[in-house]
Amino acid sequence: MSHASYELKAVARERVGKGSSRELRRNGLIPAVIYGDKQAPISISINTNEITKRIHAGGFLTTVAVIDVNGEKIRVLPKDYQLDVVRDFTMHVDFLRVSADSQVSVEVPVHFINEEKSAIKTGAVLNIVRHEVELHCPASDIPEFITVDLAGLKVGDSVHISAVKLPAGVTPVIADRDFTIATIVAPAGGMDEGSAEA
């Protein structure tokens, strides 16, 4: 279910600061930090194209990676990244150190299936409240997405997190209420035959 992990090569950085970040970027590298697991953070530099490719491929924040820092292999989960929106490249990445039994919280995308077996087929609208759900999961087993089955749902029905089958060991971060993921609503103009295509 989860993506296969991948490996990245990185170099530990001695100098940290604005000037050295600019210099790195000129050389096709970006600054990144590995933190967590009760150890001191490590500043590293990593290949910009490699990371930008991974981000565009999808699943970046739900895939454990192995970073080879000067020969030491460290398992990490990307927690955050900054993109330069103008030039579309990665500016900085934060990696969280994880071990096989680490628990992490991750935003996991929601996929909807069987729309054609619900009222949506006759023109109702799927109103998605949450495109992603934050889940606690084992770092070694992060779901790539969770699936919501819409079969049999009628106008006015809602899908709550309790209706979603989560993998073993995975629980929602919001635990105190059965929150809504999506609702099925009548289209703005009311239901008529002409709107069945909408």
Give the confidence band of 1 by pLDDT, cuts at 50, 70, 90.
very low
**3-class DSSP state of 60:** helix
Residue-wise pLDDT tens digits, 22-39: 888 889 999 999 999 888
Q: Which residues pair with 69 in a beta bridge?
A: 10, 72
The predicted pLDDT at position 135 comes to 95
Which CATH superfamily, name and number, covers 6-99? Ribosomal Protein L25; Chain P (2.40.240.10)
Which CATH superfamily, name and number, covers 104-197? Ribosomal protein L25, C-terminal domain (2.170.120.20)
Residue 197 pLDDT greater than 60, yes or no: no
The whole-number average pLDDT for the span 47-74 is 90
Task: Share the mean pLDDT of the chain.
Answer: 88
**3-class DSSP state of 173:** coil
Instruction: Determine the Cα–Cα distance for residues 52 and 75; give it in Å rounded to an integer.
Output: 19
What are the extents of the domains in the chain? 6-99, 104-197
**pTM, two decimal places:** 0.74
Residue-wise pLDDT tens digits, 94-112: 999 998 788 999 999 999 9
**3-class DSSP state of 189:** coil
